[in-house]
Amino acid sequence: MKEWFAHIAAKRERIECWQRAACGWSQISFHSFDSALDFLRAFRRILLRLNPADSIRWIDCSVRLARVDASLAAEFFRMGTDVILHAPSSLRSHLLALCINVTQIYGRDAMLDCLRAAMAITEGSSDQDVSARLIEVALKLSYGSLGYCCAFLQQATRTIRQWEAKGEAHKSFSLHLLDFVGRLPVKLAVDLFEASLPLLERAETGSPLAVTLGERLIQHTERFIAVDDDGAVRFFICGAKLARLEDVTLIDKWAALCDRFANVEGAAFHNFTTLAEGATENLVALALTHGSEGKAAVMAALDSAQLVAERSIVAASKCYEMSSALLARLSIDAYRDWVKRGLASFAESNKLIAYFAAESRASQKAIAETSDTLRLEDVLPVLKRYISMLTGKELPLIARPQKCDLLEPESDETIGLPPTIVGLGSAEERFRYYKVLAAQRAGQIEFGTHEMETERLRALGLELCRRFAHRPPASLNGETDWRTLINIFPQTALARRLFIILENARIEHLLRVRYRGLRRDLDWAQTLPKRARPLDQYILKYEPFLELLFVEALGSGARGVLDEEKRAWTEKVRAVLAAYVRKDGANVADTIRACLELYEYLDPEDPENALHWENERRRDVSPRSEKGKGMEDVEGQDGIGEMLRFEGRRGDAGQIRARPLAQAAWGAPATDLQVGAAMGGVAQPLDDVRLPNAFYYDEWDARIGDYRPRWCRVIEREWRADDRNFVKRARAEYAGLIKQVRNRFQLLRPVGLRRVRGQVDGDEIDLEAAIEYVVDHRAHRTPSDRIYVERQRRERETAVCFLLDMSGSTSARIAANKRVLDVEKEALLLMSEALEALGDAYAIYGFSSNGRTSISFYRFKDFDEPYSELIADRIGGAKWLANTRLGAAIRHATRRLNEQSVATRLLIILSDAQPTDDEYSDAHYAREDTRVALTEARASGVFPFCIAFDLRGDTQLDEMFGRNGYSIIQDTLRLPEKMPDIYRRLTTR
């Protein structure tokens, strides 16, 4: 009976399949009769091999594709059907279900890409278990998001070979990873899958730890899923980056650090892993350029964050975030000392957070005291002026990592200097070394290293072509420079090394002749331990000779016992240096001739085949080739965060021996010289680091009891809007008051002359001083010759700065047709007329803020700018803007006032005295910073005074300005009348 029912059911399924096929053919033929014929041919094959359920899925997919595009359906019938028929039965159902879901994607191209990707996975993998699991995961993702499913399929297709089993461990890891991916939400699944691909790639290339690291990461990630699935995936992403260092201990330490955050209630784990992604990437980039020392640096970052987490979770996250930048500046020991110093100095959470975020003055001081690094950006303005004085030109200055202590000429007239100088005894010595490097770079420009298409270079080029006639012909058309000529040498790498050493020697000699003041610095630089060879270059057989040349040309000369061969080489080097390099008027052509002499003396063998030479030549193209790349671009730069240690010691022969970075101690003695890139191996222009109109100020944080250094950026601008109609209305309304105030202020102006005694020349003799002169003379003492009196015109030594609050609060209406800002503008127009009558120096500024990095400081009138109708129109055109970061505005106005050489400096602030900004954490923070800014102003000799309006109480003003530091205008409309009286009272007491 069971067999009969099964037979009936099978027939029924078959009949249903035929019915669906007939219906499908009808629908397809409606769109394209050719596609319908292809459908019938493919269906005949499908019916014989597939079960009815899979056949129905195939029919549904065919109909949907035909509706979208006939050519797409035809490709599916011809090629897709073959893939489906040859797929294993365990994979076939999932593949067909996935194809049906994919047909719902909007857009023909996206649909085609997904279908092709699914077919490629099915057909391209030799491991059926892995391909089946990939399709199964893709099917699960398609139910959640077709877009993410498409991204997953395309990633899997590009890396299909990495998923093929390379052994049981690799296969087990692959299946485990795909199972885990399939359990995640769609977006997180795709993110984790993408992060895992580098692990699989390393496993495929034979990395013994890749599978172990991957399994360990998955185990930890599965634990964190229960805490926060998004945070767990980000943990995996960061862990996959750390896995590039191939150290299981790093993964375990990373998991232990994340456990600290996972055990805290709330979003601590999620927030930390989100922040840590970029920090981890920077750490790994730094570590990859330092070998085993790089791993030690990452260990230090993880250990330090773990240590700080015992006191404050938020401070630990800041510590980890800052670790890469600080480890690029500090040695590992110095970094650990900085961490210990912070933990020992502070107990409160707020102070710890500010310290480990490097946002407090105490933290910056600790970094400076533990640092043995000087950054280029810190001395950039001084070096630019120094270079300008040497060359007479304004040249761009860029940060460029050095591979050794030889300055390879730039591709154009730019000054490339290392981003950091690390080591030496003090900051003064590090700056001194920067000056030496800058002078040498400037010398390359001044003394013609970059000269091109000169007669002597063209003649030398022809001579080299004849000398190396067996070489492929060199092109000398139009752009003959030193690079073109060096490329003619058969052994280009050797010739290049010879030229760079000799050219450095030529520039140094000419600097000594032209600028005698540089000799002491150049002599000092010669005593520093240096490295003559880049780490990535070693010319077999000739390296000892190149190091001897380096010592003779740029050092103190070879010393000790030399064998006969090296002694002969040394004598040859000295003769060549004297004949070509160290002579008056030596040029770059002389350097190349010296290079040729030494090259011929070494007599290197030619490359074995022309192909090698062609590769060298293509790699060593001219900087002005079609692509416009210089030598440094083609040869490549060191990676991000590169830090090169230049360490060596003189041996018996006097040559300098390099010690590989991987063998050197990170925390080197102060006598070692270290030059490198703090987070950035690619040359970046630094001209915009300090904008001429941008000023940085510290801000007081009362919560930590310390300043946040360089926390606020004030951008000074000229106010360009104007309103002539407003000025006319204001003058008409206050015409009588303006005339009255001008008359009153004119009475305050000093009249007549004053007698100034004690002058060496003057209008009359001072009788008392003359008597003292006679007495001293008779007593045989040296008398003073200051016996005259001079009559000088009286002047008021007063400068006042009006600081106008242009925040949104000044838009409040106080009358039917007036806002607070309108009354302030009227008062400033009135004061301008009065001060013109009085003669006091004055300036009018306005300010508004939109966060700590965008504080706008507007010039309406500067101290040295005469009052005019243009100034009046600017005042009339003032508009209310955003927020009130009052502390930073006060500091900048104080700066401007302190530039005035007068006895009395007055700062009058027109504001509601309620500092607010988007990033202020609370009102107390804002008021305290304002109070400290006012205290700083008084300490510098500036008297600040606030004219506040529309306030109900004065408690906050007492706290910020003190009892005598403000005046409240209850009736804001009367501000224009009261302001002159306030000013007269402030300047006559």
SS (H, E, C) 303-324: HHHHHHHCCCHHHHHHHHHHHH
In the predicted structure, residue 802 carries a pLDDT above the cut 70: yes
Mean local confidence (pLDDT), 543-551? 82
For residue 530, what pLDDT is reported? 57
**Percent of the chain surpassing pLDDT 90:** 21
Contact predicate 368/415, CB 8 Å: no
Alpha carbons 280 and 286: distance in angstroms, whole number:
10
Asked if residue 298 has pLDDT above 90, the reply is: yes
pLDDT at 674: 35
Which range in 729-738, 853-862, 918-927 is most confidently predicted, on average pLDDT?
853-862
Q: What is the reported pLDDT for 935?
A: 93
Q: Among positive and negative, which fits the CA dihedral 574, 578, 580, 585?
A: positive
> Residue 790: which of 765, 822, 820, 755 has the closest Cα?
755
- Confidence band, pLDDT 50/70/90 cuts, at residue 749: low
Give the integer Cα–Cα distance in Å for 909 and 886: 10
Contact 867, 837 (CB under 8 A): no
Other C-beta atoms closer than 10 Å to the C-beta of 206 total 8
Q: Which two tokens stand for residue 437?
A: 């490097």
* pLDDT reading at 646 higher than 70: no
Residue predicted with more confidence, 107 or 782: 782
CB 373 within 8 A of CB 426: no
Alpha helices by DSSP H, 779-885 = 820-838, 869-876
Decide if 947 contacts 966 (C-beta within 8 A): yes
Min mean pLDDT across 584-598, 928-942, 975-989 is at 975-989
Which phi and psi (to 5°) does residue 32 adopt? -160, 120
Q: How many Å apart are CA 755 and CA 761, to the nearest integer?
A: 13
Q: Which two tokens stand for residue 769?
A: 């001083």
Which whole number is the average pLDDT over 197-206?
73
pLDDT tens figures, 478-507: 567 888 888 888 888 888 888 888 988 898
Give the Cα separation of 265 and 261 in Å (integer).
Answer: 8
Closest CA to 713 of 851, 844, 894: 851
Per-residue pLDDT at 180: 85
Q: Which two tokens stand for residue 137?
A: 């995961």
Judged by DSSP in three states, 415 sits in: strand
Which tokens belong to 899? 């530039």
| pLDDT attached to residue 805 | 92
Cα separation, 133 vs 156, in Å, equals 11
- pLDDT of 639 > 60? The answer is no
pLDDT at residue 699, rounded to an integer: 92
**Taking Cα atoms as reference points, which of 217, 221, 186 lies closest to residue 202?**
217
Share of the chain above pLDDT 70, in %: 73
Q: What does the pLDDT read at residue 377?
A: 79
Confidence of residue 811 (pLDDT cuts 50, 70, 90): confident
Give the rounded distance of the alpha carbon of 288 from its chain centre.
Answer: 19
Q: Is the backbone of residue 167 left (phi > 0), alpha (psi -120 to 50) or beta? A: left
CA dihedral 409, 410, 413, 419 (to 10 degrees): -110
- Cα 14 to Cα 18, 82, 89, 93, 911: the distances in Å are 6, 21, 19, 17, 87
Give 544's contacts (C-beta < 8 A, 6+ positions apart). 566, 655
Q: Find the largest Cα–Cα distance for the chain.
A: 151
In this predicted structure, the answer to whether residue 933 has a pLDDT above a threshold of 90 is: yes
Beta pairing partners, 707: 700
Instruction: Name which of 23-32, 209-218, 843-852, 899-908 the model is least confident about.
Output: 23-32
d(CA 64, CA 347): 67
Rounded distance between C-alpha atoms, residue 672 and residue 784, angstroms:
58
Q: Which is it for strands 904-911 and 798-805: parallel, antiparallel or unpaired?
A: parallel
- The answer to whether the beta carbons of residues 537 and 658 sit under 8 Å apart is no
pLDDT range class, residue 722, cuts 50, 70, 90? confident
pLDDT at 199: 79
Task: Look at residue 10 and give its three-state secondary structure.
Answer: helix
State the angle between helix axes of 291-309 and 248-262 in degrees (0 to 180), rounded to the nearest 10.
20
Question: What CA–CA distance (Å, rounded) separates 679 from 222?
Answer: 33
Q: What is the per-residue pLDDT across 339-382, written as a single tens digit (0 to 9) for each?
A: 999 999 998 999 999 999 998 989 988 887 777 777 787 788 88
pLDDT-wise least confident of 13-22, 170-179, 780-789, 918-927: 13-22
Read off the tokens for 106: 């909007």
CA distance 117 to 141: 15
pLDDT class of 108 with cuts at 50, 70, 90: low
Q: How does residue 726 score in pLDDT terms, banded at 50, 70 and 90?
A: very high
Give the confidence band of 643 by pLDDT, cuts at 50, 70, 90.
Answer: very low
Q: Which pLDDT score, from 0 to 100, does residue 613 have? A: 33
Indicate the pLDDT class of residue 649, thresholds 50, 70 and 90: very low
pLDDT tens-place string over residues 880-897? 898 999 999 999 999 999
> Are residues 650 and 361 in contact, defined by beta-carbon separation less than 8 angstroms?
no
Sequence-ordered alpha helix ranges (H) in 527-663? 543-554, 564-576, 588-602, 610-619, 631-635
Contact between 945 and 984 (Cβ < 8 Å): no
Per-residue pLDDT reduced to its tens digit, 654-701: 333 332 222 222 333 233 333 333 333 333 333 334 466 889 999 999
pLDDT in tens, 943-961: 999 988 754 544 578 888 8
pLDDT value, residue 636: 34
| CA 116 to each of CA 66, 72, 158, 583, 876: distance values in angstroms, whole numbers, following the listed order | 16, 11, 12, 71, 68
Query: How far, in Å, CA of 860 to CA of 878, rounded?
Result: 9
Residue 684 vs residues 418, 453, 937: alpha-carbon distances, Å: 11, 29, 38
Mean pLDDT over 825-838 rounds to: 88
- Give me the half-sphere count of Cα atoms (radius 13 Å) on the Cβ side of residue 87: 29
Determine which helix (DSSP H) or strand (DSSP E) holds 676, and give its type and residue range: strand 673-676
Residue 30 · residue 70 · CB < 8 Å: no
CA nearest 796: which of 745, 866, 832? Answer: 745
State how far the Cα of 829 lies from the Cα of 823, in Å rounded to an integer.
10
Q: Is the dihedral of CA 704, 707, 709, 714 positive or negative?
A: positive
CB atoms closer than 10 angstroms to residue 85: 15
Angle (CA) 307 365 699, round 5°: 100
Least confident of 414-428, 605-619, 639-653, 896-910: 639-653
pLDDT at res. 477: 52
The chain-wide mean pLDDT, for the chain, equals 77
Structure tokens at 974: 């009367």
